Amino acid sequence: MSQQKSVIQKTTAIFLIVSLLIGLIIGYFIGSATAPAPAPAPTPTGEVVPKSQYDELQKQVESLRQQLQQLSAQQGGKPVEIVITAWTQGPERESIYRHLNLVEAANKLNQIFQATGVPATVKLEGDFSTASWTDYRKKVFLALEGGTGPCIFQMEHVWSAALAENGWIIPLDNYVKKYWNWTYYDIIPGLWNSVTYKGHIWGIPQDTEARPIFFNKLLLKKLGWTDDQINALPEKIKNGEFTLQDMLMVAKEAVDKGVVQPGYGIWHRPTAGPDWPIVYLAFGGTLYDDSSGKLVADMNVWKKVFDWYYLASMQKYKVISDKITSLDFNRDVHPTVVSGKVLFWMGGIWHKAQWVGSFNLSEDMFWKMFGFALYPAGEKGLKPVTLSQPQAYFISKTCKYPEVAFLILTLATDPYLNSLHAVKSAHLAILYSQLSSPVYAQDKFLAMTGYMVEYAKYQPMHPRWGDYNTIIFNTIKGIETGQFNSDQALQVFEQNLKSTLGDEIIIKK
């Protein structure tokens, strides 16, 4: 009896071990088959320095050359070996050029140093992170605080405030002025506002994006709109003729007439993020007071915002579903929008790249189904808006060769290199020359959304902005899930702002 049992036990054990091994082997093959392909390195475009500007170049790198010549003499005449560390972040792999462009820039800088006789060689060592933003930022902040941070790092522009306040980065005004004619004259002027804090420039813009309203053309047609009316919509929004109220009423009409299911009129992201203050900005609100450096909450405008969300919620017009904030972005929200069930989508331009890349939307179908425009003005007399969150490169205070690092950033801020990044990851141009670069201009979508950058507002650069934004998200979540009406929301909102931000915020009534 026990012998039988031990035989059974042995066979079971062997069976389990064998199936475990087989499972491991299958897993290995699946893993290696689905590993992402490495991105190709960009090819350089020939001449780096036109001969005609050679003298000018000599003059500009003169001070740097003298510094490095001194250093090289101290080291016994050998060229100085400079290693610049750089940390960049996606998280999506499509943004790999944020790293590759720095590598290419270092190569170009070596060629310039050779041509102008600067005794130094530059090497760029870096990391491209695909972790979540929260994890990446934590890593960078802790490294900067511990003094082991990289020379160059990329981060969202809003962090200029916190980074500068903590003394972790250096102001770049003098360098920008010195090398203005290399590339900085070409940067779209509004972008400088996104990296200026307390009167100084702290970062170099790396890219930008816009957050438009995508409208479903097929559903509008079902609602009775003509093709001309549909195609004229972005223009009407731009002129301020079509407001958020109008958008709400169109969505209500679609729900009442059964063109969309209740709750599928307007959809937005299910998570916290930069988009939440856009409706407030569309109603003319301001978030930041330059003179005092404090955050601002205009309660009259917030009342209008909460009224709008309350009317749109399932408690009133049934336009915004109460379930959205409990859905999963990739599993539930994107597939629903892509399947054409939603009339208005408050999204970002990179969503087009995601839909075509990962959600089986053909390029053809995208143009047939979706139109895109700015967020309409809140009421007549105001202007349409969008929000951009440019990424920026920063130079840390512990960098041993800040000017060399700055030159790398300058050479990476190049119309061709930046266009490679913009097209691959669906971000917008930061330099005017990019708009006529063959790489960039090919992309019809980027060309048609480029104008939005001029209407773009930015998140306030205050170290406590994150708390303000989270309170906005939580309050709107409460309205949509039916816990608050707009007056209760306003009360809870004000309570939270006061208790969390205290005197860092000015509450205007």
Partner 1 sequence: MVQRNIAKYTTMAIMLLPAAIIIIVFLATPSILTILISLTNLDYRFRWEWVGLSNYYKFLSDPNTPIFIRNTIIFVAGTLTFNVGVGLLLALLSTHIHDTIGTFLRAVWYMPRVLPSVIWAFVMMWMFSPMDTGFLNSILKSMGGKPVLWTFQYYWPFLFIVNGFIGCSLGMVIFSSAIKSIPQELIMAAKVDGASGLTIVRRIILPLIKWHIAFVVAYQTLSLLASFEYILLTLDGGPGYYSTEVLILQAYHLAFGQYLAAMRYGYAAVFVTILLVIGLVLSIVYWKVFRLRELMIEPKLE
Interaction of residue 3 with partner 1, rule CB under 8 A: no
225-233: Cβ within 8 A, 24+ apart: 230/371, 231/371, 233/371, 233/373
Interaction of residue 461 with partner 1, rule CB under 8 A: no
Q: Which is nearer to partner 1, 424 or 462 (CB)?
A: 462
**Contacts with 325 (C-beta within 8 Å, 6 or more apart), sequence order:** 270, 271, 477, 480, 481
Neighbouring CB atoms inside 10 A of 19's CB total 10
In the list 215, 478, 501, 505, the residue contacting partner 1 (rule: CB under 8 A) is 478
Cα torsion angle, 195, 201, 207, 208, sign: positive
DSSP 67-115: HHHHHHHHTTSPPEEEEEEEEEE-SSGGGTHHHHHHHHHHHHHHHHHHH
Rounded to the nearest angstrom, the gap between the alpha carbon of residue 214 and the centroid of all alpha carbons in its chain is 18
Interaction of residue 507 with partner 1, rule CB under 8 A: no
Q: Which range of residues in 174-182, 359-367, 398-406, 479-487 is near partner 1 by CB under 8 A?
A: 479-487
Closest CA to 43 of 108, 131, 126: 108
In the list 127, 443, 467, 504, the residue contacting partner 1 (rule: CB under 8 A) is 467
Smallest separation, CB 134 to partner 1 (Å): 5
Interaction of residue 273 with partner 1, rule CB under 8 A: yes
Q: Which is nearer to partner 1, 69 or 470 (CB)?
A: 470
What binding mask, one character per residue, do residues 231-270 give for partner 1 by CB under 8 A, x or -?
----------------------------------------
Neighbouring CB atoms inside 10 A of 41's CB total 12
Closest CA to 266 of 319, 328, 329: 319
Interaction of residue 272 with partner 1, rule CB under 8 A: yes
Q: Which is nearer to partner 1, 133 or 366 (CB)?
A: 133
Longest CA pairwise span in the chain (Å):
97
CB neighbour class for 378 (10 Å; exposed up to 12, middle 13-18, buried from 19): buried
Interaction of residue 293 with partner 1, rule CB under 8 A: no
User: Residue 475 is which amino acid?
Assistant: T
Closest CA to 82 of 67, 98, 60: 67
In the list 483, 504, 506, 508, the residue contacting partner 1 (rule: CB under 8 A) is 483
In the list 60, 111, 245, 271, the residue contacting partner 1 (rule: CB under 8 A) is 271
Smallest separation, CB 185 to partner 1 (Å): 33
Interaction of residue 475 with partner 1, rule CB under 8 A: yes
What binding mask, one character per residue, do residues 317-346 give for partner 1 by CB under 8 A, x or -?
-----xx-xxxx--xx--xx----------
**Contacts with 98 (C-beta within 8 Å, 6 or more apart), sequence order:** 88, 89, 90, 128, 154, 206, 207, 391, 421
Interaction of residue 499 with partner 1, rule CB under 8 A: yes
Smallest separation, CB 138 to partner 1 (Å): 6
In the beta sheet, which residues pair with residue 295?
288, 505
Smallest separation, CB 220 to partner 1 (Å): 24
Interaction of residue 469 with partner 1, rule CB under 8 A: yes
In the list 481, 485, 504, 506, the residue contacting partner 1 (rule: CB under 8 A) is 481
The DSSP element (H or E) to which 146 belongs, if any, is none
Q: Which is nearer to partner 1, 245 or 483 (CB)?
A: 483
Q: Which of residues 83-142 bind partner 1 (CB under 8 A)?
A: 133-134, 137-138, 141
CA atoms of 301 and 277, how far apart (whole Å): 11
Interaction of residue 396 with partner 1, rule CB under 8 A: no
Task: Please report which residue ranges of 207-269 form alpha helices under DSSP H.
Answer: 217-222, 227-239, 244-256
The DSSP element (H or E) to which 454 belongs, if any, is none
Q: Which of residues 142-171 bind partner 1 (CB under 8 A)?
A: 145, 162, 165-166
Smallest separation, CB 489 to partner 1 (Å): 9
User: Residue 342 is which amino acid?
Assistant: V
Smallest separation, CB 328 to partner 1 (Å): 6
Site residues (CB under 8 A) for partner 1? 133-134, 137-138, 141, 145, 162, 165-166, 271-273, 322-323, 325-328, 331-332, 335-336, 463, 465-467, 469-470, 474-475, 477-478, 481-484, 492, 495-496, 499
